[in-house]
Chains A and B, each alone.
Chain A
């Protein structure tokens, strides 16, 4: 047995917790700058190590076998999952980790309810002091919402359930009823509903879980990053609430930090998509899939070409801009695309990559993937940087991107994506779109770009198409 040396809530333990959360603050700060981000993550991890060791040294801790079991299983799962995960699957991984965090909070809240009751003779929930009970209820509700909401986000990104918005009629009403029910049940507990079976509390957890499901289900896949970020902030707040219940300063500060910094981050992400958080949560991207002016889906004329034609267009260009999107990530085409770029550069063609802020399913998603394929950092151009160059670009190659190139965002004020910043590929002399079909993207709307006279469609899997084009260029 480990010799316990720290008094719970004593000065030594608190001082160590202060060290831990100071490291969190430094870590988050460093995480906002490209040069220090990696170090910042390590600093924050160091803070976590301090916090965990401090807690393990608290006087009176027992059940070491179970603690070892929990730590061992959790660490093993965490290590294996994070080593094995493909770069394309990072977003859903974050969702999953966020979910288990929320789940932990909900479980702790439940345990605290039981603990609080057992501390008092013939105790009931009502005999738990309010300054403990209210944070427990908050932690339970928000943790449960976060757990289930994150699981749905994971399932959507992993394509376990359709990424299209799923909404039942009257959904908002059902959600409102659930919220009112949860709040009413919490109030009834707080004002002295002596329910000895804790069924009311468990009912609250279940209702909150249902709410988490129902809130996230109607949201389209394209908006998932913002939702995950928001749930991340929620989990932080619920952790802070658990800190209030447990009188633990490390939980209060770290949880609150994540809650507030996560909120700012969520707003920045939403801004990058030119959407408000409320809009994302309550309207659903495809809320009116057929409502857009370009909604007519009957056959429209388009030009279809093969890999050889595409290779010729590219090889005789001076400047080429590649616009990657989620299709590239799904097809794992980043290495094949890099090959095409290498072949073109051998022929003296200038190749750049235009990165839309929300290309893929997470901001920064494309940067991660292309970096994996050794694409030089300086060839990745942000949208603001590349758009003025578009008119001087000979060929723009859109690889598995859709909505982020749709000119309707600029030209059609009735379009659901009106006002969203886009990569203006339609300004380029020629456009090649590599895509499996003409089917619409996450926004559920047709892309006018596909029917422009200077656009050629290459219908194929992105990886296969890129490999074919690279081979054809070599043969030229």
Chain B
């Protein structure tokens, strides 16, 4: 890919990122941050590529640590987000606003 194509993609992605976040309810700030945090675990692909094509000792070490870090970021990130959101959907039934549960 030539540089200008990459920059085009970059600029468009910036705007998509801006647009995709509208008004987020404060309740969802933390889960959403956690989810985007998991998504930048995509750097693990970089680690995989470095390690997959590595051919000297130090690169093996760097690559393995980078892959492990990336995997923690991805797996932990998505799982923690899922746990957070699970807390909200645990009691989904009385969610309807006009539910008559006067408690």
Q: Chain A binding site: helix, strand, loop or mixed by DSSP?
A: helix
Residue A105 CB within 8 A of the other chain? yes
Residue A410 CB within 8 A of the other chain? no
A235 lies within 8 A of B40 (CB) = yes
A306 to chain B, nearest CB (A): 28
Size of the chain A interface, CB-CB below 8 angstroms: 120
Q: Which of A79, A87, A254, A371 contacts B42 (CB 8 A)?
A: A254
A74-B69, A251-B43 given as contacts; is B36 within 8 A of A371 (CB)?
no
Question: Chain B contacts of A101 at CB under 8 A?
Answer: 37, 40-41, 43, 69-70, 73
B79 to chain A, nearest CB (A): 4
A60 lies within 8 A of B52 (CB) = yes
Size of the chain B interface, CB-CB below 8 angstroms: 87
B50 lies within 8 A of A97 (CB) = no
B14 lies within 8 A of A259 (CB) = yes
Cα separation A378 to B97 with both chains bound (whole Å): 7
Q: Which of B32, B47, B79, B101 contacts A32 (CB 8 A)?
A: B32
A41 lies within 8 A of B31 (CB) = yes
Question: Chain A contacts of B91 at CB under 8 A?
Answer: 371, 374, 376-377
B69 lies within 8 A of A37 (CB) = no
Cα separation A111 to B66 with both chains bound (whole Å): 10
B32 lies within 8 A of A104 (CB) = no
Interface-centre pick from A42, A104, A114, A363 (highest chain B CB count, 10 A): A104
Q: 10 A-B contacts, Cβ less than 8 Å apart?
A: A44-B38, A70-B47, A79-B76, A87-B87, A93-B76, A100-B73, A115-B54, A248-B49, A258-B37, A377-B88
| Other A-B pairs, 12, CB within 8 Å; known A77-B68, A98-B73, A242-B46 | A24-B39, A38-B85, A63-B54, A77-B72, A93-B76, A104-B67, A225-B29, A243-B46, A268-B23, A363-B29, A367-B87, A382-B26
Give A contacts to B, CB under 8 Å: 8-9, 24-25, 27-29, 31-34, 37-38, 40-42, 44-45, 47-48, 51-52, 55-56, 58, 60-63, 66-67, 69-71, 73-75, 77-79, 81-83, 85, 87, 90-91, 93-94, 96-98, 100-101, 103-105, 107-108, 110-112, 114-115, 118, 131, 225, 228-229, 232, 235-236, 238-240, 242-244, 246-265, 268-269, 272, 345, 350-351, 357-358, 362-365, 367-368, 371-372, 374, 376-379, 382
